[in-house]
Structure 1
Amino acid sequence: MLLLGPSRFGSLPPVTRFLLVACFGFWLAGLFAPHFINGWFGLIPAMVMKGELWRLVTYVFPHGGIFHLIFNCFLIWTLGGMMEGGMGSVRYGRLLFWCALAAAFLTVAVTPSSRIPVIGASGAVFGMLGAFAALNPDAVVRLYFLFPMSARALVILLAVVELAMSLSGSNPGIAGTAHLGGLAAGWLIARPPGFLTRFAEAVRPDPKPPFDPQAELDRLLDKISSSGMESLTRRERETLERLSRERGGRA
């Protein structure tokens, strides 16, 4: 069973520390200038549609209240710190970035004309949960629940709850679409082999085999033997001369 508990702040890996400091700093600034912080850094779909693309990332840092901040920072500190320690800071940072971006894109796609700011790291945090469940589907967790469940079951439950809330509009103060976007992105990015992995393999061109000088020289000599020197292209002749010089002989 996975029991999450906070480590000492000084022992946390760098991405986790940065997120905690940034979220707390923006929340603190928001106490004194909430309209400025939310208005300039929050995810406002209508403003994103007008070209203010920085909002697709900066919305992660401001938070709407102390409990919103505590919930996200607790998971970033505990589960996030553990995942960064296992994945490495670069991979973990990329994971959170793409999850936050996916959460933002889905929010803008669903409500492109909205002028209500969406703020908070919940999209990235839900992506982190999705990635953890994809990598450790059978891990047993006891997190905000009185009974244990597998990580896979927890993510499915979260997805169902967020989808129901988004469709019903029962809690307009919570950006369910952002949660769903982050959760799905984290699951798809981390799930081995995963849809995104298969898609990348399908569209990625086949890598060129490493250049083998001897094999290339043999091919050119065979071509000369069968079709004559005039059958070589200009590039093939240059290659033949270069390979011959490197081997100190003549073809």
Structure 2
Amino acid sequence: MAYRYYHRPLFSRQWGGAIKWLIIANVFVYLINWFAGRNFLYTFGLVPYQVVKSLWLWQIFTHMFLHGGLFHLFINLFVLWMFGKPIEREWGTKSFLKYYFTCGLGAGFFIFITSLNSRIPVVGASGAIYGILVAFAMLYPDSIIYLYFLFPIKAKHFVILIGAVALLAGISRGRSNIAHFGHLGGLLVGYVYLKFPLWKHRFHPERLLTFLRLPKISLKRKKKYETKSYKIEERINQILDKILLHGVDSLTTEERKIMDEYSRREKH
């Protein structure tokens, strides 16, 4: 399946830091697997039976760096590069990686719970990639994607389509060796992550750690800092909600500047 999208040039053509290193890591692991053989595949691919029997819990994470063939690797990295660039540009590297791995782990968990007795290794970043497609559709819902480079479809409709296909294919359980529930898991986890964002909760563990390291800070200064920090965070939350509901195109020039500054801080 080929994808192509057109959008006005809001984003830099340079590779994002996260995407570059994810591509390098996936290619590197693919080469290791090529030379190491089946033992490597069964150790680091997701084998639900081994996770249950031997508690090889790392497989839920490591499986997303392995791929079943060169085309499998290429198509996942191509979609990551094409659709991930504008997302990382909007969110920053840290937030992008957090989301990517959350979707990948969610996909692994869905695969695990739907095939507990399976001894066949499942590999691939497809679950995380489906999460990337969901994020793109929620950020740029009216962007046009050309399916197979021929058929135009809006991003928001495309995600619904691939979700329905994954669900039907997973339920039918044909002879396909594709982990459809993994795709569906990455898609659903990504949607829930963005639709009900954790940043709306006001508890931040890192702030507690900062407070414990600086116990002598004056109450007056602390109150002023927390008030300013809360106002900034509240403004960011409002802009993020606006993006999720109406897309990036709805932002004003001032809001774009605020998000650019926020993205730069997140990258460091």
- Shared topology, TM-score over 0.5? yes
Where does the alignment leave 5 or more consecutive residues of structure 1 unmatched?
A: 5-9, 206-210, 214-251
Larger radius of gyration: 1
- Aligned with 2:65 (options 42, 61, 66): 61
Which one of the candidate residues 3, 10, 14 is aligned to 1:11? Answer: 14
Q: Does 1:106 align with 2:110?
A: yes
SS in 2 for 1:185: helix
Residue type of the alignment partner of 2:93: S
* Aligned with residue 31 of structure 1, among 34, 49, 53: 34
Question: Residue 133 of structure 1 contacts residue 187 of structure 1 at CA under 8 Å; is this kept in 2?
Answer: no
Please give the alpha-carbon distance, in whole angstroms, between the structure 2 residues aligned to 1:137 and 1:108: 31
Unpaired stretches in structure 2, ≥5 consecutive residues: 8-12, 205-218, 222-268
Which residue of 142, 146, 167 corresponds with 1:163?
167
- Residue 150 of structure 2 corresponds to residue 146 of structure 1: yes
1:130 corresponds, among 134, 148, 151, to: 134
* TM score, norm. by length of structure 2: 0.68
Instruction: Report the 3-state secondary structure (helix = DSSP H, G, I; strand = E; otherwise coil) of the residue aligned with 1:142.
Output: strand
1:137–1:102 CA distance, 2 compared to 1 (3 A)? same
Specify the alignment match of 1:247 in structure 2. none
Sequence identity percentage: 36
Take 1:11 and 1:212, find their aligned partners in 2: how far apart are those partners?
Answer: 44
Q: What letter is aligned with 1:16?
A: I
Aligned Cα RMSD in Å?
2.7
In 1, Cα distance between equivalents of 2:128 and 2:161: 18
Match of 1:40 among 40, 43, 62: 43
Q: Which has the higher contact order (CA 8 A, sep 6+)?
A: 2
Paired residues, what number? 200
Query: Are residues 144 and 87 of structure 1, via their aligned partners in 2, closer, same or farther at CA, if it must alter by over 3 Å?
Result: farther
The alignment's TM-score, normalised by the length of structure 1, stands at: 0.72
Does the CA contact (< 8 Å) of 2:87 and 2:135 recur in 1?
A: no
